[in-house]
Amino acid sequence: MAGHVDRCLVGQVRADETRGAGGAMTTPAEPGPGRTDPGLSAIMGERRRLINLAYRLLGSLADAEDAVQETYTRWYAMSRTQQEAIDSPGAWLTTVAGRICLNLLGSARARRERYVGEWIPEPLPDRAEWSSGRTSGIAADPADHVTLDESITMAFLVVLDTMTPAERVAFVLHDVFRYSFAEVAQVLGRSPAACRQLASSARRRVREAQASTTATATAAGNASIVRDFKRAWEAKDVEALVGLLAPDATVIADGGGLVSTALHPIEGREQIARYTAHIVGRAPDMAILERTVNGRPGLVAQLDGVTVMVAAFDIAGDQIKHIWVVRNPEKLRPWTAR
């Protein structure tokens, strides 16, 4: 996996989240007296952090929104007296959101068994794509609330998806969001020592995924390689495509059974190059655009202004090692032009 996640994650997400100096979960300061609901601003101020957490845990912005909405529903289902008895509303919201995500991850495993083909996390547009009004289907607000960093790349989300639900929750809360294991234990209902072991196991998965990456291109280098891939793809230049791909490159496509796509991974650069050129040949009117996908250079394909494909890349050195192609229209709603 491109990037050195262990070094990059620490503190990146938490830098712009609301935490106390001692590391305990807190909420922002409540508004002054005289307001109808003095805790409303503080409670709603947690939404950014909760969406960040839920997206990383679930790999789906739509599911993350649902999980956060359910969290707030449970908060407002309590009486004012019950709410005021909670010392740290932020901690309560995080615990509830984490447990909701944990349950969703468990049920997702059963749903994946019925999923047609490969499952890929929902790709996230760049914040500018949302705010510019080029996307529709979901309001611009959720994407603006997701912090783009190493823990949001498609490569990292794919690794997270190999973990057990408990491993994923423990790792994301502790290693990404910097919660203590005592706090993680409140979410998982396990001892801090058990949570430490879960995070350690998850960390090994991350290191194993990184083991095959010996060199990482710069951001500008990644963009240049993706641009070259786009040009070769448009030209159906199989030889140029082969030159940009690592010998053991893989393509994984997600159509969800709703559109036609490869049901199994495509392995080897020659096979990938021929498959890629074939796609362009079948859709000559398809426009291929350079876009930021989960914080990294990627490509988007559109037909008549409708996004029909989003591709995320994992690049090591000057070669493409992995391409994740999302074609499931349910995962592309945020990308469709107005």
The 3 state secondary structure assigned to the chain is CCCCHHHHHCCCCHHHCCECCCCCECCCCCCCCCCCCCCHHHHHCCHHHHHHHHHHHHCCHHHHHHHHHHHHHHHHCCCHHHHHCCCCHHHHHHHHHHHHHHHHHHHHHHHHHHCCCCCCCCCCECHHHHHCCCCCCCCCHHHHCCCCCHHHCHHHHHHHCCCCHHHHHHHHHHHHCCCCHHHHHHHHCCCHHHHHHHHHHHHHHHHHHHCCCCCCCCHHHHHHHHHHHHHHHHCCCHHHHHHHEEEEEEEEEECCCCCCCCCCCEECHHHHHHHHHHHHHHCCCCEEEEEEECCEEEEEEEECCEEEEEEEEEEECCEEEEEEEECCHHHCHHHCCC
Residue of higher predicted confidence among 113 and 294: 294
The domains of the chain are located at: 5-210, 219-335
For the stretch 117-158, pLDDT in tens is 999 999 998 866 544 444 444 444 444 446 656 778 999 999
Provide CB contacts within 8 A for 78, sequence distance 6+: none
For the stretch 1-33, pLDDT in tens is 444 343 333 333 443 343 332 333 433 333 334
CATH architecture of 219-335: Roll (3.10)
Confidence of residue 334 (pLDDT cuts 50, 70, 90): confident
Return the bridge partners of 298, or none: 291, 312
Residue 42, pLDDT above cutoff 80: no
- pLDDT at site 36: 43
Residue of higher predicted confidence among 269 and 40: 269
| CB-based burial label for 133 (10 Å; 0-12, 13-18, 19+) | exposed
Region 206-218 average pLDDT: 67
What are residue 324's phi and psi, to 5 degrees?
A: -110, 120
Confidence of residue 306 (pLDDT cuts 50, 70, 90): very high
Confidence of residue 337 (pLDDT cuts 50, 70, 90): low
Rg (CA), the chain: 21
Return the bridge partners of 292, or none: 297
Residue of higher predicted confidence among 245 and 130: 245
CB 157 within 8 A of CB 300: no
Q: Alpha-carbon distance 199 to 159, whole Å? A: 13
Q: Alpha-carbon distance 25 to 21, whole Å? A: 10
Region 226-232 average pLDDT: 97
- pLDDT at site 127: 65
Nearest to 157 by CA among 56, 300, 273: 56
Residues in the chain: 338
Confidence of residue 114 (pLDDT cuts 50, 70, 90): confident
Residue of higher predicted confidence among 220 and 134: 220
For the stretch 47-103, pLDDT in tens is 989 999 999 999 998 899 999 999 999 999 999 999 999 999 999 999 999 999 999
Residue 332, pLDDT above cutoff 80: yes
- pLDDT at site 146: 61
- pLDDT at site 110: 75
For the stretch 158-189, pLDDT in tens is 999 999 999 999 999 999 999 999 999 999 99
Tell me the average pLDDT of the chain. Answer: 82
